[in-house]
Amino acid sequence: MSLPAAFLRDAERLIPAERRFDDPTSTLAFGTDASFYRLIPKLVLRVESEDEVVALIQLAQRDQVPVTFRAAGTSLSGQAISDSVLIVLGDNWNGREIRHQGGQIRLQPGVIGAQANAWLAPYGRKIGPDPASINACKIGGIVANNASGMCCGTAQNTYHTLAGLRLVLADGTRLDSEDPASVAAFEHSHAGLLDELARLGRETRANTALAERIRHKYRLKNTTGLSLNALVDYDQPLDILQHLLVGSEGTLGFISAVTYNTVPDHPHKASALLVFPSVESCCRAVTVLKRQPVSAVELLDRRSLRSVQEMPGMPAWVKDLSANACALLIECRAASQSLLHEQLEQVMASIDDYPLEQKVAFSEDPAVYNQLWKIRKDTFPAVGAVRQTGTTVIIEDVTFPIEQLAEGVNRLIQLLDKHRYDEAIIFGHALEGNLHFVFTQGFNSAEEVARYQAFMDDVAQLVAVEFGGSLKAEHGTGRNMAPFVELEWGHDAYQLMWKLKRLLDPNGILNPDVVLSEDPDIHLKNLKPLPAADEIVDKCIECGFCEPVCPSKGLTLSPRQRIVMWRDIQAKKRAGVDTRELLRTYQYQGIDTCAATGLCAQRCPVGINTGELVKKLRGQAAEHGKAADWLAEHFHATLRGARFTLAAANGARKLLGAPRMSRLS
């Protein structure tokens, strides 16, 4: 199905040609996020203002065109892709306003999370969410997914640190919760919607069983489905609406600004790595540590430790740990060094009776604790680095009630063994009972897809039904878990989510099939191929971490997009498809405009330097090899000649004047 002619005509008038993309190269490049799904948009529009967003939403509503909003595209569950219209944030969404000596910060959705923290650092503050992708992901995605992280827990996520929101609803209406005039206008124009939200809130709070279920679910880390806790935590409809938008993954509206209540960023910290002889003893220690002054407790199973045991800086004893060993990486933070030392004594005393197989004692030395955290952060890329070409890396994200964490870990290990995911590892944010498990998966045959389906069915039963946990703790529901939302939440809560969706997006144009889907197999469709392209880039997992530092991002393609395109070209070549037009386009988009600085390798979890691929391709196409050799052998003379040429040009500019020089040159 093509897009309506009227929509295309009016979108063309609204968005300049340099920010509209419908060619095969661009739509494929933008059709990739960090998940294992791919949809190719029919049209990609890069927006630079809220006015443009409003106008596009109104056009989409008029012509019934589905739209998906996208910030950085680092999401893992398939929520930032579309086969219709993809609306991508441009470069003009970086506004910020710091208030109350850093106590609050108002941010536009294009700000990268780490940049927000850099602005707050002089005040000793930071935003609450601390996702692993914070150096690449943007505020829009952090809010829309209710992202958390290692230290954030449940208390400091966006939902709980929200001070205000500016949003655009599916009918194009704007609302700024911090602007009294905007609020008054909205209360007048949308009184019916607000009344309905208030009614749904009253009904939900009066339904004792449902209200208690919602409260239980959000005692855990939970991003499965819509944020129903808004209906029990608040009675004012504007508060309900704001908090419903958090974690809605672009299915209820567009977030154009958010104000955070910031949290302290304590300057003094120390970390330790404690290895317990078994999963059971490790998890019992977690329940004790939950009551102690710790800022983070990360669990690493034996497979996780095995995956990084050969890396530089690892203690030699890691290789000799027992088969059932399980480790905790613990961090404490405090406002003063004396308080930190008190905390460390208290923490170690609390678990003094637990036997340890090995340990790296608490250290305040940045070299030591940074190395410990590098061990934790290297576990995910370690799996990616050993995967077979053509397979993808999947990272799932579940929560068990903390008192059942040990059994949950062991049952997960059993499921991974049952379905033959021998390379899989388990790690996670233990204080919240939040486990990530990473495995490699091929989608190149019906058998492989069926294996994945059977595994996910088992995981859903284990986590959601047997343990009453959450199937998505912090990665968002996306397409990945949309078919399992009712299984986890039950019929009443699930139908309530649909009521909210239809109330706020009655025509279903906002990010369809994400969070809520009527297709029970949506998680098995549009699975992303990762074909072999070149050994330099075959380990790429398309996470997008490289993009913020790429000099040509926004001009043409980012490193991730260069790899996506080269993979597609190579796969088409092997299939006998004529790729001449794609190669012609790729020459400028992918090769000529790459700075080949290698900056991308510094951010890449698996160390890929996309510039190396580009230099290789340039070398293969080089037509002046002898001239290049001569220049290399006479580099000093070449440099002198270049200096003379530049000096002559500068002299001509002084003599002729800049305007005349510009015309002549």
pLDDT digits (tens, 9 = 90+) for 474-518: 999 999 999 999 999 999 999 999 999 999 999 999 999 999 999
Q: What is the CATH number of the domain that holds 572?
A: 1.10.1060.10
Q: 363 near 271, Cβ under 8 Å?
A: yes
400 phi and psi angles, rounded to 5 deg? -110, 145
pLDDT tens, residue by residue, 136-158: 999 999 999 999 998 898 999 99
Domain contains 294: yes
In Å, what is the CA distance from 158 to each residue of 227, 242, 260, 624, 662? 12, 11, 7, 56, 51
The amino acid present at 361, given as its one-letter code, is: A
Burial class of 353 by CB neighbour count within 10 A (0 to 12, 13 to 18, 19+): exposed
Q: Residue 628 is inside which H or E element, if any?
A: helix 625-633
Q: What is the 3 state secondary structure string of 324-365?
A: CCEEEEEEEEECCHHHHHHHHHHHHHHCCCCCCCEEEEEECC
The amino acid present at 342, given as its one-letter code, is: E
Same domain for 211 and 184?
Answer: yes
Same domain for 105 and 189?
Answer: yes
Residue 106: domain span: 96-264
The pLDDT value given to residue 653: 87
Same domain for 331 and 471?
Answer: yes
Same domain for 428 and 554?
Answer: no
The domain boundary, picked from 238, 264, 290, lies at 264
Whole-angstrom Cα distance, residue 410 to residue 436?
Answer: 13
The domain boundary, picked from 264, 283, 316, lies at 264
pTM for the structure as a whole = 0.93
DSSP 160-208: HHEEEEEEE-TTS-EEETT-HHHHHHHHHHTHHHHHHHHHHHHHHHH-H
Structural domain tally of the chain?
A: 4
The domain boundary, picked from 455, 475, 495, lies at 475
Domain contains 19: no
DSSP state of 249: T
Q: What is the CATH number of the domain that holds 306?
A: 3.40.462.10
Domain contains 465: yes
Same domain for 210 and 304?
Answer: no
Mean pLDDT of the residues in the chain? 95
Q: Length of the chain, please?
A: 665
Domain contains 444: yes
Round the CA-based radius of gyration of the chain to a whole number and report it: 26
Domain contains 87: no
Q: 349 near 294, Cβ under 8 Å?
A: no
pLDDT tens, residue by residue, 254-311: 999 999 999 999 999 999 999 999 999 999 999 999 999 999 999 999 999 998 888 7
Same domain for 337 and 397?
Answer: yes
Residues of the chain with pLDDT under 70: none
Residue 68, helix vs strand vs coil: strand
Q: 534 near 610, Cβ under 8 Å?
A: no
Token match 């405090």: residue?
334
Same domain for 277 and 205?
Answer: no
The amino acid present at 459, given as its one-letter code, is: V
Q: 202 near 163, Cβ under 8 Å?
A: no
Domain contains 49: no
Whole-angstrom Cα distance, residue 544 to residue 531?
Answer: 18
Q: 594 near 553, Cβ under 8 Å?
A: no
Q: Which two tokens stand for residue 486?
A: 């009712």
Same domain for 367 and 241?
Answer: no
Same domain for 175 and 256?
Answer: yes
The pLDDT value given to residue 627: 81
Whole-angstrom Cα distance, residue 645 to residue 626?
Answer: 23
DSSP state of 461: I
Whole-angstrom Cα distance, residue 58 to residue 80?
Answer: 20
Domain contains 88: no
The gap between the terminal CA atoms of the chain, to the nearest Å, is 49
Among 524, 541, 393, smallest CA distance to 73 is for: 541
Q: Which two tokens stand for residue 630?
A: 């001569």
Same domain for 362 and 432?
Answer: yes
Among 70, 423, 76, 111, smallest CA distance to 223 is for: 76
Same domain for 612 and 643?
Answer: no
Same domain for 272 and 251?
Answer: no
Whole-angstrom Cα distance, residue 644 to residue 638?
Answer: 10
Which residues, listed in sequence order, are joined to residue 396 by a DSSP beta bridge? 437
Domain contains 489: no
